[in-house]
Structure 1
Amino acid sequence: MSKKYNFAIIGCGVIANTHGNVINAIERANLYAVCDIIKDKADEFAKKYNADNVYYDYMEMLQDPNIDIVCICTPSGMHGEMAVNVANAGKHIVCEKPIEITTEKIKPIIEAVKRNNIKFQSIFQRRTMPAAIATKKLIEEGKLGKIVMANAYLKYYRDQAYYDSAGWRGTWELDGGGALMNQGVHGIDLLQWMVGQKVTSIFGRADHLSRNIEVEDTAVALLQFEGGGYGVIEGATTCYPGLDTTFAIHGEKGTIIFSDSGIERWDFIDEDIPRPDAGEKIGGATGATHISSGGHYILLNDLIDAIENDRQPMIPPEEGKVAVEIINSIYRSEREKKEVYL
Structure 2
Amino acid sequence: MTDTKIRLGIIGFGAEGGMYATFIRDGMVPNMEVGAICDILPDKKAGAEELGVPFYENYIDMIESGEVDAVVTCVPHYLHPEMGIAALERGVHALLEKPVGVYTKQAREVIDFAASKPQLTFGVFFNQRTNPLYVDLKSLIASGELGALRHTSWIITNWWRPQGYYDQSDWRATWGGEGGGVLVNQAPHQLDLWQWMCGVPQKCFAKLAFGFRRDIAVEDEVNALVDFGNGATGHFMTATHDLVGTDRLEMLFDKGKIVVENSKTVTITRLTAPEQAISENMSMDDVRKLFTGQLDTGALFETETTEYESVWGQQHATVMQNFAVNILDGTPLIAPGPDGINGVRLANAMHLSAWTGEEVDMVNFDEERYLTELNARIEAEGAFPARS
TM-score, structure 1 as length reference: 0.90
Q: What residue is the counterpart of 2:11 in the other structure?
A: 10
What is the CA deviation profile of residues 159-202 of structure 1, one whole-angstrom value per residue up to 9, with x for unaligned ones? Answer: 1111111222101123221111111111011011011x230111
The CA RMSD over aligned residues, in Å, is 1.9
Structure 1 runs of 4+ with >6 Å offset: none
Q: Distance in 2 between matches of 1:294 and 1:152?
A: 24
Q: What residue is the counterpart of 1:147 in the other structure?
A: 149
Q: What residue is the counterpart of 1:284 in the other structure?
A: none
What is the CA deviation profile of residues 104-133 of structure 1, one whole-angstrom value per residue up to 9, with x for unaligned ones? Answer: 001221122222331012111111122212
Contact 2:267 2:306 in 1 (8 A): no
Instruction: Please list, as runs of the form range in 1=range in 2, the aligned pairs for 1:87-98 lying within 5 A after superposition.
Output: 87-98=88-99
Q: What residue is the counterpart of 2:366 in the other structure?
A: none
Contact 1:71 1:95 in 2 (8 A): yes
Q: What residue is the counterpart of 2:202 in the other structure?
A: 200
- CA separation of 1:307/1:277 partners in 2, compared to 1, >3 Å: closer, same or farther? farther
TM-superposed CA distance for 1:212, in Å, is 1.5
Equivalent of 1:336, from 349, 353, 356? 356
Q: Which amino acid aligns with 2:7?
A: N
Q: Distance in 2 between matches of 1:331 and 1:173?
A: 14
Q: Distance in 1 between matches of 2:180 and 2:355?
A: 13
1:179 aligned onto 2:182? yes
Equivalent of 1:306, from 311, 314, 326? 326
Q: Distance in 2 between matches of 1:294 and 1:135?
A: 19
Contact 1:37 1:56 in 2 (8 A): yes
Instruction: Please list, as runs of the form range in 1=range in 2, the aligned pairs for 1:200-279 lying within 5 A after superposition.
Output: 200-206=202-208, 207-243=210-246, 245-260=247-262, 262-270=264-272, 278-279=308-309
TM-superposed CA distance for 1:250, in Å, is 1.1
Q: Distance in 2 between matches of 1:76 and 1:232?
A: 25
Equivalent of 1:132, from 131, 134, 140? 134
TM-superposed CA distance for 1:259, in Å, is 3.5
Identity fraction in percent: 27
Instruction: Please list, as runs of the form range in 1=range in 2, the aligned pairs for 1:103-122 lying within 5 A after superposition.
Output: 103-116=104-117, 117-122=119-124
Equivalent of 1:39, from 39, 42, 48? 42
SS class of match (1:31): strand
- CA separation of 1:120/1:276 partners in 2, compared to 1, >3 Å: closer, same or farther? farther
- CA separation of 1:51/1:191 partners in 2, compared to 1, >3 Å: closer, same or farther? farther
What is the CA deviation profile of residues 91-115 of structure 1, one whole-angstrom value per residue up to 9, with x for unaligned ones? Answer: 1111111011011001221122222
Contact 1:129 1:279 in 2 (8 A): no
1:161 aligned onto 2:161? no
- CA separation of 1:142/1:27 partners in 2, compared to 1, >3 Å: closer, same or farther? closer
May I ask how many residue pairs the two structures share in their alignment?
328
1:191 aligned onto 2:194? yes
Most deviating of 68-77 and 14-23: 14-23
TM-superposed CA distance for 1:7, in Å, is 0.9
Q: Which amino acid aligns with 2:36?
A: A
Structure 2: gaps of 5 or more residues: 273-300, 363-388
1:72 aligned onto 2:73? yes
Q: Distance in 1 between matches of 2:55 and 2:233?
A: 49
Most deviating of 116-125 and 69-78: 116-125
Q: Distance in 2 between matches of 1:131 and 1:115?
A: 35
Instruction: Please list, as runs of the form range in 1=range in 2, the aligned pairs for 1:57-68 lying within 5 A after superposition.
Output: 57-68=58-69
Structure 1: gaps of 5 or more residues: 282-291
Q: Distance in 2 between matches of 1:73 and 1:223?
A: 31
